[in-house]
Structure 1
Amino acid sequence: MAIDAFEPHPIVRLLGKPSADFTAGDLVRAVEQLGLGQVNLRYVGGDGRLKTLAFPINSREHLLQVLTRGERVDGSSVFAGTDTDSSDVYIVPRHRTAFLNPFGERCSLDVLCSFYDEAGKPLPYAREQVVRRAAEVLTQQTGMSLEAFGELEYYLADAPERIYPVEEERGYQESGPFSKGQRIREQVLGHLSAMGVALKYAHGEVGNILEDDRQLVQHEIELQPVPLEQAADNLVVAKWVVREVASAHGLEATFAPLVSGQGAGNGLHIHSRLVRNGVNKIIGEEGINDTGRQLIAGYLSAARALSAFGNTVPTSYLRFTGGDESPEDICWGEKNRSGLVRVPLAWNGDVLAGMITHANPGSTEPVPEPATHPQTVELRLGDGSADVHLLLAGMAVAARHGLSDPGSLELAEELNTANHDDFGQLPTSCAEAADALETERQIFEADGVFLGALLDAILTRLRDTGDATPGGDPGKDDAAREELIRRHWHIG
């Protein structure tokens, strides 16, 4: 198979094959030809962060064993609530996820892993296994796959600059020298592309916040639609790369829902579409079709429960009530940014051709068509505290419910901002989100997608987090608000 000349993944170029076809033997060859001396097995822990187990390469046989067999780890140290008497679990490399890690003392080969129990069965509370199971069940029952990608927002914190100082709330797609952190953003793009993370673009976001002793400048990376498990992995890898690059520049990156008593917070909007045999099934000749409306209805009907995965700290709910573009109402609309679900503007063929001709008079080149129609629906629920694997798994569960519920089309009609203006509200606290999840838990436990013990652990954590809110009303008490922001600065 010919490799695209623009392919950014160095291992794909070296091996001359797509990453989906990587084998352990391929990776051994790549390590040898690149002269690497270390392999890192990576996995997503119970806190949603990327963990590392580093192996020096002792011999070809040793390398092949690591890349084939994986290793044992202490599950009780990875996942809260695991029984210490039976906590040994296996991590097994997924060869298709291999990439070069440029951040250590020496370049290494990194591979993401999946968890298995002592009997060799998928560990049901491991993040990647939950989202994998959710995607499988959706496809088994509907014949369609859910593809998704995130809009990852983050802030860089630095000392204020005297030259071209930032202007508050004026950062949207700003360019240097007014944009601060542009080089960091570009380095992040380069690393992620080389790691096989499919990206759309990156830019400065609205949030410029200027305080007495620091400036906070917001950025966004938008990814490309990929299958659900890969979409979750991509977001976790992207967060790790952002932090690594920022740290190398002596800066701090944060994905916290709120970063200051003023200014925009960090959202994590998730775009998705249903695909069968490469065809986008949520779009028709007149725009969003009935399948798309069923998908939207599924998200909206489960929205209060989904906040337990997408909004996991008290500052999430302060962001909701802060106004601006943070949704509170459980509704949807075409193009507008006030609803919880938004249908973004897509490219109509005739409109696109007209624009291209107007912008490029005399052009006769054919207009390229994407393999799959780019239309998505955007769930604007999540923020930087989201447990992304569980949020995407929950979205697959909600999608399946919407596609199977005979009342979904009627619900979509009722919750459309074009038809009504009185809607239900999202939770206002972690405890309320926990209550919503507990009420709907049977939907998430169905078909073995979410283990009951995992949901119990999530409910306990949310309720404990809510109880940890400092005295006073953080919505009105500046000191209480700042304490919450400080406490959850490095969430996600």
Structure 2
Amino acid sequence: MNEKMKTTLTADPLVRFLGKPRTSFTRSDIVRYIRENAIEMLNLRYPGADGRLKTLNFVINDESYLESILTCGERVDGSSLFPYIEAGASDLYVVPRYRTAFRNPFCEIPTVDILCSYYTKDGTPFDMAPEQTLRHARQELQRTTGLDLHAMGELEFYVVSPQEELFPAVDQRGYHESTPFNKGAEFRTRAMKYIAEAGGEIKYGHSEVGNFTQEGLMYEQNEIEFLPTDLESAADQLTVAKWILRTLAYEYGVEVTFAPKITVGKAGSGLHIHTRLMNGRHNATINPDGSLSDAALKAIAGYLSLAPSLTAFGNTNPTSYFRLVPHQEAPTNICWGDRNRSVLVRVPLGWSAGAGRMASDANPQEEPSKIDTELKQTVEFRCPDGSADVYLLLAGLAVAVRHGFEMEEGIRYARERYVDVNIFDERHKEVLSRLSHLPGSCEESALRLEEQRGIYERGGVFPARLLDGLIARLRGFGDATLRQEIAGDEERTRKLVATWFHCG
């Protein structure tokens, strides 16, 4: 599809109006859009250490003031946003990134929002900000391998609303359910519309497995999956999507939660991350015949090798480890496989068999046609959840790919950890016995990060102080035996869930 068609068909009003992709947005483009669309306010937005978007509101007094905001940004108190900054030297700048601008879908007053990067008093990037860590990780991976890493997230969440009696859904059987058995479809599609208008590149949305009722409330699990894009855009889109989902839920008078676990015996919400290695416009994850490339095997080796410490970025509170339990779809063993949902790294079904042939079989009136499907193949990392710091998680995955390329026997390492059986089947217990395991608590995750931290610090990607802060926070939960302590204790479990209900 050419660029003109992309800008014509897009749901994004800025791209449609300006007639160019977001990556080409300039300051003058933003000014023109604001001036010619009677925009009255501008919001600067930036994620804090808790992953939530923070906001500065500006009334647009005149064009020179608008130019000043877009050029200089504004000062903020970093010590109130990040726990590792001292109050005595806490001033930071937040400076807009023009490609992230979007029309605010909730404001009655016409408003444009724009994401920002953090800078120090010297005008240099603030290296402790997760967004800068991701930037460094991407640059270092490209420098050492010549490849780019693209990513997309599967954003799972529960919508919580008053219980309805009509057309009750079957407990834990909500996968791809339609109305009227799925009650949250209108909410989900409205959220998708707003996310797409804000620049989110959505693949699809659907209801997920999880649904149950509890104390007069209906819990319905949903998923919005994105398309692969560059690492920074992938993280930005997930962050904005969470903000949109929560704000829309507030307007609907319902709750939305990304919590890893809500109650025992019911599906938790993950944040599976699909990745692909790109060499220019070519998907370096696969060979011309559709098989996995050596580069993909090296990336998988890196993911498996660093999996214990990657949980420090992707599974960040005690309820994360109530989701990562055996005999569920969430992984606990460090292995990979094809289409196997119990593994940590999954190679999902591709289209090497030929989409054109299937389409002509389903539609006999159509002649078989060739369509390029190589970009569809990805590798999925399945343990992260909604508590993840998406910027640090994607940075960690980029470091893991680089590490896989640096491993002397990376390809062999990956092949030795491939499984093609149900590892929880008693007939294959010898396979299970040779696999290592993910951490079972935040405390153990901190220990694994401490052991592997040198890999993340290499090349100046993860600042030592940032890792120190993460390790201290995870250790501070004191949850090494928590899962065993509160097993069967419904009251303590509910209190724990309530504490982290709005995580991420």
8 Å contact kept, 2:145–2:402: yes
Distance 1:462 1:289 in 2: 36
For 2:474 and 2:441, the matched residues in 1 are separated by: 9
Tell me if 1:131 matches 2:143: no
Question: Which residue number in structure 2 is paired with residue 149 of structure 1?
Answer: 152
Partner of 1:391: 393
CA contact (8 A) 2:340 2:420 kept: no
CA distance in 2, matches of 1:286, 1:20: 30
What is the CA-CA distance between 1:447 and the residue it aligns to? 0.9
1:103, 1:21 → 2: CA distance?
26
Where does 1:286-305 land on structure 2 (aligned, <5 Å)?
A: 286-305=290-309
**Which position in structure 1 is the counterpart of 2:427?**
none
Residue equivalent to 1:326: 330
CA distance in 2, matches of 1:435, 1:313: 15
Give the deviation of 1:485 after TM superposition: 0.9
1:474 to 477, 486, 492: 486
Question: Any idea what the Cα deviations from partners look like across 1:2-39, whole Å, max 9, x if unmatched?
Answer: 35321211111112222211111111111111111100
Match of 1:345 among 349, 352, 367: 349
Query: 1:332–1:341: 8 Å Cα contact kept in structure 2?
Result: yes
> Corresponding residue for 1:158?
161
Q: Give the 5 Å matches for 1:31-430.
A: 31-284=34-287, 285-321=289-325, 323-348=327-352, 350-364=353-367, 366-370=369-373, 373-418=375-420, 420-421=431-432, 422-430=434-442
- Counterpart residue type for residue 402 of structure 1: G
Contact 2:336 2:419 in 1 (8 A): yes
State the 1:373 CA deviation: 2.0
CA distance in structure 2 between the partners assigned to 1:152 and 1:406 by the alignment: 35
- One-letter code of the match for 1:475? A
The 1-side partners of 2:47 and 2:454 are apart by 25
Task: Please report how far the alpha carbon of residue 486 of structure 1 lies from its aligned counterpart in structure 2 after TM superposition.
Answer: 1.1
Residues 128-150 of structure 1 deviation map (CA, whole Å, 9 limit, x = unaligned): 10101100000011000000000
1:469 to 1:87, Cα distance in 2 relative to 1, 3 A? farther
Encode CA deviations 1:250-297: one digit per residue, 9 max, x unaligned.
000000001122310000000001101111111012511211111001
Q: How many corresponding residue pairs? A: 490
Any idea what SS the aligned residue of 1:453 has? helix
AA of the residue aligned to 1:477: D
- Alpha-carbon distance in 2 for matches of 1:486, 1:383: 16
- Cα distance in structure 2, aligned partners of 1:469 and 1:103: 44
2:426 maps to what in 1? none
In the TM superposition, residue 234 of structure 1 has moved relative to its aligned partner by 0.9
Structure 2 CA distance for partners of 1:425 and 1:322, relative to 1, 3 Å: closer
Cα distance in structure 1, aligned partners of 2:416 and 2:490: 38
Distance 1:351 1:470, change over 3 A: closer
Q: 1:94-115 CA distances to partner (integer Å, 9 max, x unpaired)?
A: 1011100121342311111111
Task: Report if the CA contact (8 A) 1:271-1:377 is conserved.
Answer: yes
* CA separation of 1:490 and 1:468: change in aligned 2, threshold 3 A: farther
* Contact 1:469–1:484, Cα closer than 8 Å, also in 2: no
Aligned residue identity for 1:441: R
Contact 1:209 1:262 in 2 (8 A): no
Q: Equivalents in 1 of 2:298, 2:172: separation in Å? A: 36
C-alpha distance in structure 1 between counterparts of 2:484 and 2:332, whole Å? 23
Matches of 1:16 and 1:428, distance apart in 2: 49
Instruction: Check whether the contact 2:40–2:111 (CA below 8 A) recurs between aligned residues.
Output: yes
Paired position in structure 2 for 1:447: 459
User: 1:41·1:93 contact (CA, 8 Å) conserved in 2?
Assistant: yes
Which stretch has the larger CA shift, 18-27 or 230-239?
Answer: 18-27
SS at match of 2:340: coil
Unaligned runs of 5+ in 1: none
Aligned to 1:459: 471
Q: CA deviation at 1:84?
A: 1.4
CA distance in 1, matches of 2:206, 2:110: 28
- Match for 2:333: what amino acid? D
One of 482, 487, 492 as aligned partner of 2:499? 487
- Residue by residue over 1:419-443, the C-alpha shift from the partner in whole angstroms, topping out at 9 and shown as x without a partner, is 9442001001100000000010111
**Does the CA-based 8 Å contact 2:442-2:480 persist in structure 1?**
no
* Separation (CA, whole Å) in 1 of partners of 2:151 and 2:334: 21
Letter in 2 for 1:381: C
Provide the C-alpha distance between the structure 1 equivalents of 2:145 and 2:439, rounded to a whole number of angstroms. 30
Structure 1 residue matching 2:210: 3-state secondary structure: strand
2:428 aligned residue? none
> 1:35 & 1:391 partners in 2: Cα distance?
38
Tell me how far apart the structure 1 counterparts of residues 188 and 370 of structure 2 sit (CA, whole Å).
30
CA contact (8 A) 1:261 1:482 kept: no
Whole-Å separation in 2 of the counterparts to 1:34 and 1:206: 42
Secondary structure of the 1:2 match is helix
Counterpart in the other structure of 2:424: none
Q: CA deviation at 1:166?
A: 2.5
Task: Tell me, in whole angstroms, the C-alpha distance in 2 between the residues paired with 1:324 and 1:474.
Answer: 19
SS in 1 for 2:29: helix
CA contact (8 A) 1:15 1:30 kept: yes
| CA deviation after TM superposition for structure 1 residue 472, in Å | 7.2
Range with bigger deviation, 466-475 or 45-54: 466-475
Counterpart code for 2:417: L
Q: CA deviation at 1:366?
A: 3.0
Indicate the percent of aligned positions where both proteins have the same amino acid: 45
Distance across 2 between alignment mates of 1:84 and 1:196: 35
